[in-house]
Chains A and B, each alone.
Chain A
Amino acid sequence: MRAVRIATYLALLAAAAVAPMFVPEYQTQLTDLFLFIVFALTWDLVGGQMGYNSFGNVLFFGIGMYACAVTQVGLVYDVGAYNAARGGGATVFTFDVGQYVQGLAIGLPAGAILAALAAVVVGGLVLGMRGQYFAVCTLGLGFAAGEIANGWEWLGAGSGMVPATPPSEMADIKLFYYYLSLGLAAVTFVVLSWLYTTRFALAINAIRDDEDKAEAMGHLTTTIKVTAWTISAFFLGIAGAIYGNVRGFIDPIDVAFPSATIGVWMILMAILGGKGTIIGPVIGAIIFQITKELFWIYLLGWQRVALGLLIVLIVVFFPQGIVGWVRERRPRAVSAAGQ
C-alpha cells in the first residue's frame, strides 16, 4: 500500500512539473496553489495537530516577505531611499542578473530565518495561553503587524514596496518561481509527513488532546509548542518571500499581512480537507483554489461575498472536512491509504 501511495505522489509531482508546458495559461494559478498548499499544511501543524488555532500565521508570511524584499534591495541600494522613490525620482533602481540571483539566494533564507526567529520570540510569549485567548491574541498579532507595516516609512508604509525587479534577461522568472513554489510545497509535505511519524508528533497530539496531562507526563509543553510553531513559521516565511516576488508588489495589508483573506483561507483549507491529517490540507487547498477561481470567473463583483458565505457554510455544516467525511463513510479505505 505504501508503494502505491508513494507512486501516486510521484505521479502527481511529475504531472505538476510538466504542467507549464501543456497548460501555460494556468501557470499563475498553479503557483498560487502550491503556495496555498504550504499555507494549509503549516497551519495544520499547529492548528490541526497541536490544537492551537492561530488566526495570525500571516505574521510569519509577511515577515518572510518583507525580509526577503528588503534583503534583495538592501544588498544593492539603500532601502529607505529605494522605497521613498516609489519607482520614480532621479535615481533609477535596476538589478543585473548577478545582483538579482544573489539577492534571492540570500533573501529566501533570510525570510525563512527571520520568520522562524519571530515565531520563537512571539511563541514564547503567547503560546502559554489556551483556546480562544490564543486565537484572539494571534488575530490581534496579524492585524497589528499589518498596521505597523502600514505606517513604517522605511518599508514604504501604505504605498507598499516593490521587491527587486528581475532584469530583462530573466524573462522566464515566473517559471522559475513556479518550480520554486512546487519544490517548497513538495519539501514541506515530505518534511511534515516525516515529522508526523516521529515521537514529536505524538507529543503535539498529546498537547491537543489534553495539555495538562501531557505536561504531567513530563513533556516540556512550552518548548514543544514553540518548536512546532517555529517549523510552521520557517516554511511560511519562505512561502511569503516567494509570494512577494510572484506578486511583484507588496501592499502591507492586502499582500503581506492579509489576515482577512489568506489568513482565514489557510484555516478554511485545512478544515475543508480535514484537520489533523497530512493529506487533508492538500486536498482542501486544491478544492479551495478551484472554487475561488470559479467564483472569480462566474460571480465577478460578488466573489468576496461568496467566499465569506463559504467560510460560514464550511465551518457550520462541514467541520469534519473531506478526510473526516470519508473516514465516517468508508473507515477501511482511509486506513488503507495510511491516514
Chain B
Amino acid sequence: MLDNLNILIAAPPITVDLVVNGILIGAIFALAAYGMALVWGVVKIINISQGEYVILGGYVTIVLTENGVHPLFGVPAAALVLGVLGWLIYRLVIHRIVDRDMFTSLLATYGIAILLQQLMNTAFGGEVRIADAGLGTRFLFGGIVAIAEIKIIAFALAAVLAGVLIWFLKRSRTGQAIRATAQNPRAARVVGIDTDRIYAATFALNTAICGAAGALVAMAYTIHPYIGLAYTIRSFMIVVVAGLGNLAGVIVAGLGLGAAENVAAFVLGTQYQLAFTFSLLVVVLVVRNWRLARRREYLK
C-alpha cells in the first residue's frame, strides 16, 4: 500500500493518468446522481434501484451491439427502453408508495433492485460484459498517460446529456411543471398540474437518464448483473455531498468521486475499490452528521 503511494509521489504522470481517467468516469456518476436528485427532490423517494437501471441500460447496448448495431446508438435506445420501463415501474409500484414513509420507499425500491438483478442474471448470465465500440487509445506524456477514446466520447456525451436535461427542465412545459411540483406539490395541483403524471414523468426521465449513463458504462467500462448497487451508493453519496438541487455541486462531487476512487483503487489495490466506495459513504455521512451535531442538529 505504501509502496503504491511512493510510486504516485515519484511519478506524477501516473497520478495524472489516474485522475484524468477517474474524472472521465466521474461524469457518468454525476449523470446518474443527477437523476437520483431529481426523483428525490420531486417524488420525495430515495431510489435504491437507481444502479440497476444503469446496468440494464448497459445490457440494452450490449444486445444491440451483438445484433450489429454500433454501440453509440445504444445511448438513445437504452434511454428509450429504460424510460418506458421506468414509467411502467412507476405505474405498478412507485405510485403506491409515494406518500408513505421513506423507509417503505427504500425497502420497496431495494426489492425492485434485487428483482432486476436476478432477472438480469437469468436473462444475460453472470459474466462481466462490455460493448466494444472499436476505438483506439490516446497516449500522453510519452505513453504513461493512456486514455481510451471511448472514455472521452462517453465524457462528452454525458456532458451533452446533462446540458439537454437542464434545458428541458428550465424551458419545456413539462420541465417547468416538474420544478413547480418539486417546490410545492399542493400549489402545483392548485394551478392545474396533474402531479401524479408529473411524478411518473420524473421517474421515467430518471430511468432514461440512468439508461443512457448505463450505455456509456457498457462501452467505456464493464457491467455485470450485481454491480448496480455501487452506482446507487455513488449517486446517493454525490447527492448528499452536493445537496439537493445543487447542480454544480453534483458535477464537482461526481468528478471528484471518480478521481478519488481511481486513485484509491491504485493505492489500496483494485480488490478494495468497492470497499473504498462503500466505506466512503459511511465516512461522508458520519462526518456530515458530526458537523451537524455540534449545532444540535442531525441528518434526517
Scoring B118, B269, B290 by chain A CB atoms within 10 A of each residue's CB, the highest score goes to: B118
B300 A133 Cβ-Cβ under 8 A = yes
CB within 8 Å for A128 and B271 given contacts A136-B106, A311-B115? no
**Which of A141-149, A170-178, A189-197, A285-293 is the contact stretch?**
A141-149
Query: How far, in angstroms, from A144 to B114 measured CA to CA in the complex?
Result: 18
Looking at the complex, which one of A139, A147, A301 makes contact with B122 (CB distance below 8 Å)? A301
Q: Is the CB of A312 within 8 A of B281?
A: no
The answer for the CA separation of A260 and B121 in the assembled complex, in Å, is 14
Contact with B along A57-97 (1 / 0, CB 8 A): 00000000000000000000000000000000000000000
Q: Which of B111, B271, B282, B299 contacts A150 (CB 8 A)?
A: B271
* Chain A, range 246-305, C-beta contacts under 8 Å to B: 260, 264, 267, 271, 301-302, 304-305
Are B110 and A311 in contact, with the CB atoms below 8 A? yes
Other-chain contact of B119, A130, A157, A305 (Cβ < 8 Å): A305
Tell me, in angstroms, the Cα distance from A143 to B114 when the chains sit together.
Answer: 14
Query: Does A24 count as interface, using CB distance less than 8 angstroms?
Result: no
Check B233 against A140 for contact (C-beta < 8 Å).
Answer: yes
Contacts of A311 in B (CB 8 A): 107-108, 110-111, 114-115
Chain B, Cβ-Cβ closest to A144 = B278
A126 and B282 contact, CB distance less than 8 A: yes
For the complex, is B173 an interface residue (Cβ under 8 Å from A)?
no
Question: Taking the complex as formed, is B168 at the interface, i.e. its CB lies under 8 A from any CB of chain A?
Answer: no
In the complex, A126→B281 CA distance in Å?
A: 12
Render B229-265 as a binary contact track against A, CB cut-off 8 A, 1 for contact. 1000100100010000000000000000000000000
Q: Which residues of B contact A130 (CB under 8 A)?
A: 298-300
Q: How large is the interface on A (under 10, 10 to 19, 20 to 34, 35 or more residues)?
A: 35 or more
Interface residue? A17 (CB, 8 A) = no
Residue of B nearest to A124 (CB): B286
Known: A143-B233, A264-B114, A311-B114. A137 touches B281 (CB 8 A): yes
Q: Are B282 and A305 in contact (CB under 8 A)?
A: no
Are B275 and A151 touching (Cβ within 8 A)?
A: yes
As a 0/1 sequence over residues 80 to 119 of chain B, the CB contacts with chain A under 8 angstroms (1 = contact) are 0000000000000100110010111011101110111111
Name the one of A140, A147, A308 contacting B272, with C-beta atoms under 8 angstroms. A147
Chain B residue nearest in CB terms to A148: B275
Q: Does B183 contact A (CB under 8 A)?
A: no
Set of chain B residues within 8 Å of A55, measured between Cβ atoms: 106, 110
In the complex the two chains form, what is the Cα distance from A302 to B115 in whole Å?
Answer: 10
Chain A residues with CB under 8 Å of B48's CB are: 139
B213 CB within 8 Å of chain A: no
Q: State which of B236, B274, B281, B289 has its C-beta within 8 Å of the C-beta of A128.
A: B289
- A-contact bits for B198-229, CB 8 A (1 contact / 0 none): 00000000000000000000000000001001
Chain A, residue nearest B106 (CB): A135
- The chain A residue sitting closest to B282, CB to CB, is A140
- Known contacts A130-B298, A131-B102, A311-B115, A316 near B233 by CB under 8 Å: no
Which of A140, A141, A147 lies at the interface centre, i.e. has the most chain B CB atoms within 10 A of its CB?
Answer: A140
Which residues of chain A from 96 to 150 have any CB-CB distance to chain B below 8 Å in the complex? 125-126, 128-133, 135-137, 139-141, 143-144, 147-148, 150
Some 19 contacts from A to B, beta carbons below 8 A apart, are: A126-B289, A129-B299, A130-B299, A130-B300, A131-B103, A133-B289, A135-B106, A139-B48, A139-B233, A140-B285, A143-B233, A143-B274, A144-B275, A144-B281, A150-B271, A304-B114, A305-B118, A315-B104, A316-B108
Which 10 pairs from chain A and chain B are nearest by CB?
A308-B115, A311-B111, A144-B278, A147-B275, A151-B271, A130-B300, A140-B281, A312-B111, A133-B299, A308-B114
A-contacting residues of B (Cβ < 8 Å)? 46, 48, 93, 96-97, 100, 102-104, 106-108, 110-112, 114-119, 121-122, 226, 229, 233, 236, 240, 269, 271-272, 274-275, 278-279, 281-282, 285-286, 289-290, 293, 298-300
A→B interface (CB under 8 Å) = 53, 55, 125-126, 128-133, 135-137, 139-141, 143-144, 147-148, 150-151, 157-158, 260, 264, 267, 271, 301-302, 304-305, 307-309, 311-312, 315-317, 319
